[in-house]
Amino acid sequence: MATPGQPSNASQGGGPAASTPVQQAAAALRQPLAEQQASLGNLFAQIGSLMSAQAAGKASVPDAVQKAMQQILGLRLNSGQPITGQSLQQAVRLSGQGGEGRLPSPTGAQQSPVPDLKTALLAFRGLLQSLGAEPAVRFPARQPAPASRSSGPQGQAPQTSSGFWAGSAPQNLQSLLQETDAALARMRLTQLTNAGLAGDDGPQATAAKPMDSVLELPLALGQDTAVMQMQIGRDGGGNSVDEDEEPAWRLRFALDLTATGPLEAAVSLRGGGTYISLWVDRKETLDLLSGLQETMEAAFADAGLDLQELRFIRGLPPKTAAKYGALINRQS
């Protein structure tokens, strides 16, 4: 996979930036997308609410809509099953933020096309419009900060559905279309970030080296859906600074779960060793993890990983403020 493009030196200088047609188009899109985006969790909450109401006979949606909703729910990473490297890789491929949902199997075996999340949402949007739902510009009242490669990751807690209308009311389809458009706006904004076109990679963003990519994975937690934000970066490995430097991988991710509270982790793979720091907001969660430290260290050893460091830290790390704020409340 190609490394996401970096902004040109001209765009980071003090003088007027040389702007290509692509940069101009991205600049025109950024603000509308930022204003219209919302957490992917909002859409999953709305779908879950309607699916439960349908099962209880309290609401009714067309069969095609029900089938599409089941497909979208199936694209979440299932926390009820062991999360392996293979399942995580598959979740990344199907996240809709890298365009890899239809890549062939690494073994060369033929597979049925599996739509990634963005592809599924675009098809869902078309279906809802064909059934009479009308798109409309909407500015969600509360929004998570746009994804960034420069500031720390931010997990998104499970969201509460806005409810449903009884029977086969067309408002249910309209609500689904609104949440779908908000989720697509967020995914497009994240793709601009990964292409270096979101305006968050300049020297004013952070003194640290930006990550190479950022993505968001919906995580199924029973009937709820949390969103894990993950950043991936690679250092060394034949770059212009040191041709002989062994490549090192950096991974940061954040979760905000009802059971644990906010969590943030930094993982570094370098020199054959693995280094992990885990920041925990709640004391009871920190105590629980500390009690499991030996078990976790043994699990890394069983997996053949040379764990050099595993640290648990109370409190979340200081975050570089995202351009649009950690949480935008348009009602205040």
CB 10 within 8 A of CB 185: no
pLDDT digits (tens, 9 = 90+) for 217-253: 999 988 899 999 999 998 865 444 455 567 789 999 9
Alpha carbon 102 to its chain centroid, in Å, reads 19
Q: Which two tokens stand for residue 167?
A: 């029977």
Phi, psi of 165 (to 5 degrees): -100, 140
What would the pLDDT profile of 280-315 be if each residue is shown by its tens digit?
999 999 999 999 999 999 999 998 889 999 999 999
* Least confident interval from 144-158, 198-212, 262-276: 198-212
Mean pLDDT of 72-95: 86
pLDDT at position 220: 93
Residue-level pLDDT at 251: 93
Note the pLDDT of residue 201: 58
Residue 208 clears pLDDT 90, i.e. is over it: no
What integer pLDDT is reported at residue 98 of this predicted model?
64
> Which of these ranges, 35-39, 114-118, 129-133, has the smallest mean pLDDT?
114-118
Sorted by sequence, the CB contacts under 8 Å of residue 30 that are 6+ apart come out as 189, 192, 197, 198, 199
Phi-psi region at 163: left, alpha or beta (left = phi > 0; alpha = psi -120 to 50)? left
Position 248 scores a pLDDT of: 87
Please write down the HEC assignment for all residues of the chain.
CCCCCCCCHHHHCCCCCCCCHHHHHHHHHHHHHHHHCCCHHHHHHHHHHHHHHHHCCCECCCHHHHHHHHHHHCCCEECCCCCCHHHHHHHHHCCCCCCCCCCCCCCCCCCCCCCCHHHHHHHHHHHHHHCCCCCCCCCCCEEECCCCCCCCCCCECCCCCCCCCCECCHHHHHHHHHHHHHHHHHHHHHHHHHCCCCCCCCCCCCCCCCCCEEEEEEEEECCEEEEEEEEEEEECCCCCCCCCCCCEEEEEEEEEECCCEEEEEEEEEECCEEEEEEEECCHHHHHHHHHCHHHHHHHHHHCCCEEEEEEEEECCCCCCCCCCCCEEECCC
CA dihedral 104, 106, 112, 114 (to 10 degrees): -80
Q: What is the pTM of this model?
A: 0.82
As a whole-number percent, the residues of the chain with pLDDT over 90 amount to 56
Write the pLDDT tens digit of every residue in 89-108: 888 888 888 644 444 443 44
Listed by start position, the domains of the chain span 24-97+115-140+161-199
